[in-house]
Structure formats: C-alpha cells, structure tokens
Amino acid sequence: MSENQGFLLIDKASGSSSFALVKQLRALTGISKIGHTGTLDPFASGLLIFALGSYTRLCQFLELQDKEYEAVLKLGEQTETGDLEGKVIAVSENIPNQLDKEALREQILQIKSLATPAYSAVKIKGKPAYSYARKGIKVELEDRPVHISKFEVTDYSPPYLSFCCKVSKGTYIRSLGELIAQLLETVGHCVNLRRTAIGHLSVNQASKIEDITKENFTSHFFPIEELFPDFEKLYLSEKELIHLSNGNLIPNTGKDYEKILVFDSQGSLQGVAKRKDGIIIPYINLKS
C-alpha cells in the first residue's frame, strides 16, 4: 500500500468549513481523494476524521458512530440558521430564572425525531437545502429520526444554557437547541458548539491543522487498529491476497465474523473481508 493512505484526526477550529479543511489537506498532501466522516458547521469546532486515498472506502464504518458535543444555547433569541451566524427572527423575554435540570434531561432523552434545519446540507432535488433558504424559498423538510443516549445541563447562567450530549448520526444540535428552548417556553439559538468525540475517538487525540505539513502529514496518521478496535485482524500470504483481490474466496478457520481487517505479511492494510463457514469473502479491496 502507498504510504499516503491513512486517517487524520483533526481538531477543527471555529470559523472554517469542513470542505475548506479538505481543500487545505489536498494542497498540503498533494492527494486529491480525501473524505471525512460527518460535517461540522463553520461556527462549530472539534473532531473531524479525514480519510486519504483509498482509505475513503473505510469511512462507511465510522460514519454510523454516535457523536458527542458540548454546546452553549442562548435563550431569548431565535435566528434563521439556529446559530449565531443567522439574523434574529424572533425574541422572547420569557427566560426562566431557574432550571429543573433533571426534568429537562428526561424530556430530551425521550426525543425520537428532530426538525431538519432549513440551513443544512440535506439535498432537495439535488441541491442543498441552504441554497433554497438563502433565496427565501421554503421547502418541505422531513424530521430526522434521532437517538439521544446522553444529555446533561452543565451550566445555567441566564440567558446562557450549557449542555453536553451524545447523539446518533445525522442529529443537528442546532435543532436540539431550538427544541430545548421550546420546552422552556422560549426561543433560542446555539452560540457555541464543539464535537468532543466520534464513537470511541476523542478530540483530545486529534491534531491541529496548523501542525500538519507536506513533510510530516504521514506521521500524524492515526493507527488503523485503534480506529477499528472491534475488527478482527487477519494476516495473509501474498498468494492468498492475490486470490482475494481477484474476488476469489479462500479457506480460513475461525468463527463467523462480519468485519475483518486484512493485512499482508508486512502489516500493510490490504482490505476488508468477512468470514462465513470457514471461508474468507472479500468486501473492500484497497488496492483496486
């Protein structure tokens, strides 16, 4: 495998878009094929996982992971975007002096769906929803199913409410913030948002984009075994790998397993496979 295949964990700063970081990494590394797992809004900061080269084919295994956030909600003002970048469209003086944190927590944990923001990248007839919103065109956006497995109010200093949460893929924290405000019988918008984790990976394990250079980017690659700790590791001979890369099945004793990282004898990742009834079945070939 090329030494230019790998994953980078980046702690995105507030103010830059996720795609801007993709462009920056392309310029730094000279690699055009770069993807990431889960967009962050420009005003948000925190963990982004970038895949370089053919490793983009492995993003599917990371995209489904739950994500953790820390956020600050300002009560009393609603914006068109749900964050501090949009203009204020509604105000309310009904801001509670005190908060029943436990009651709010129980309400939030029962949420099964959330509204899709008008200013989002969700595609409508091939175009992102925000492209319609910017033109003042209203489109029907379906609520998105969500699962919130953790929620805690970490501070309440009116009008600011700070919270942390763990949510399923596709959950818009801006929408969650607006719903929190509704439950408190007021309006609100997010003024700060930070993604602290994706699955078992923490932002504390990430690098800053300014620390990545053309000369050192491969040294920042995150260990593949630590990215996929629940995958079985399988080392095969060159002959076996040739058979597998040609789409052939090979015998291999062991229990049935759906997610297996396939390495060559030198420890270079070659692909992903599964085992069924003592047979290795290729799934992803990183060499093709």
What is the per-residue burial (b if ≥16 Cβ within 10 Å, else e) of 196-205? bbbbebebee
Rounded Cα gap, residues 171 and 159, in angstroms:
24
Over its C-alpha atoms, the chain yields an Rg (Å, rounded) of: 22
**From 11, 41, 66, 83, the catalytic residue:** 41
Annotated catalytic residue 277: no
Query: 43 is written with which tokens?
Result: 């005003």
CB 202 within 8 A of CB 107: no
Rounded Cα gap, residues 178 and 73, in angstroms:
8
Residue entry with tokens 């944190």? 101
85-88 — which CB contacts under 8 Å span 24+ positions? 85/42, 85/43, 86/119, 86/189
Helices (H) then strands (E): counts for the chain? 7, 19
Peptide bond into 229 cis (omega under 30): no
Rounded Cα gap, residues 43 and 192, in angstroms:
7
Rounded Cα gap, residues 220 and 224, in angstroms:
12
Residues recognised as catalytic: 41
